[in-house]
Amino acid sequence: MTEALLLVLGLVLLWLVLWDVFETIVVPRPTPGWFRIGRYVTRYAWRALRTAADWRGGEARDRWLGLFAPAMTIVLLFTWLLGLIVAFGLILFALRGDLSPPPPDLATSFYFAASSILTLGYGDIVANEGFARIVVVASAAVGLGVVALVVTFLFSLFGSYQRREASVVLLQAKAGSPPSAVVVLENLARMDLIDHLPEFLGGWERWEVEVLDSHVAYPLLGYFRSSHDNLSWISALGAVLDTATLVSTTILDVPRGQAELVIALGNHLVEDISNLGFHRGIASRIAREDFDAVHARLETAGYHLVPADQAWPEFAAVRAGYETRLELMANFWAVTNVSWLGSEDPLRSPAHVAPRSAAEASGAGQAQAPLEERGATGK
């Protein structure tokens, strides 16, 4: 009876581990499931690290949080290997009569399972009968397979991460840090690149497609942080969506079709990722006075605009489709959120242009500090 119970427990655990590996790495789509080992490990590890990092604060906080995603790929590998060792250890202990010498206890059986999974092959314990031999060979094959899958998974994650971050860093030159839609539009007007707005938004539509496909399929990508201060893929997405929203609701004489496509796909992106559970905290909304300030800045930059009283209701309605989810996601991952009015304008820094005159400086809108990150814990 004891052997039968151990055999069943081992087989159930083996199935859970292999199914989790399959759904996490092999299946390129969200797989909620009723029980996922990797999901619970990631969720509770993030909670613990967020608590410790918030307690430390300062640069240590961001450094700790930046290590989480790369470390989790290693933690998941060891978690799966540990699960396989326990599962095969239980199975082999149930079949200890077919082993020579028979393991005297579970600890010895776990040792034999580990040496088989890791293909060490010391030979101090040998399988003598058919079924036990099959189990030992299967453990070695499964161990090698899981390690190979995780290595492939790691390269795939870093490839997607680098493609995501290339566009985020490139946006910094036009949008500031944290990125801001009003800074983007001011800089495009200043450089006489307003006609390139549809092309600019088209590039970000393709970026949205790739992020939607990769981050929904492999949610661990959301935990990878930007290597640059005051940047995140969430803030970049928010700045681009704000730019598209201003184009589609407030700015005249600029084609709106591409902006509407970016908004539609952006709403799809934030909804799908948010539905995976990556949202927590308190969200705020843009105030009317902030919109009026942006309206005045865009008018100063030379744009022809819909009157503020007419544009505000439509702008608020379109932005409502993504602003709350986007801010909650930023809170969950503790990353920089979008700066609405812009905290800096890189193209106006001494490295790019000559200092402005006093008259030019007095005509520019005042910058506002970025939205404060609100403390949030993982789901």
Question: Higher pLDDT residue, 129 or 332?
Answer: 332
Delineate the domains of the chain, giving CATH numbers in brackets. Answer: 2-150 (1.10.287.70), 176-363 (no CATH)
pLDDT band at 335 (very low <50, low <70, confident <90, very high): confident
Does pLDDT of 32 surpass 70? no
CA gap 250, 295 in Å, rounded: 8
End-to-end CA distance of the chain: 40
Per residue in 178-205, pLDDT (tens digit) is 889 999 999 999 999 999 999 999 999 9
| Partners of 126 in beta bridges | 100
CA gap 240, 3 in Å, rounded: 61
Q: Do residues 282 and 226 make contact, with C-beta atoms less than 8 angstroms apart?
A: no
CA-wise closest residue to 237 among 340, 344, 338, 339: 338
CA gap 58, 66 in Å, rounded: 13
Question: Which of 6-10, 166-170, 319-323, 338-342 comes out lowest in average pLDDT?
Answer: 338-342
Output the average pLDDT for the chain.
84
CA gap 114, 83 in Å, rounded: 10
What is the structure's pLDDT at 175? 87
What is the structure's pLDDT at 29? 72
Per residue in 225-262, pLDDT (tens digit) is 988 777 899 999 999 999 999 999 999 989 999 999 99
Range of 95-104, 107-116, 332-341 with top mean pLDDT: 107-116
Average pLDDT over residues 357-364: 35
Q: Do residues 87 and 10 make contact, with C-beta atoms less than 8 angstroms apart?
A: yes
Q: Do residues 307 and 204 make contact, with C-beta atoms less than 8 angstroms apart?
A: no
pTM to 2 decimals? 0.80
CA-wise closest residue to 198 among 266, 269, 268, 261: 261
For helices 37-56 and 58-94, what crossing angle results, to 10°? 150
What is the structure's pLDDT at 38? 84
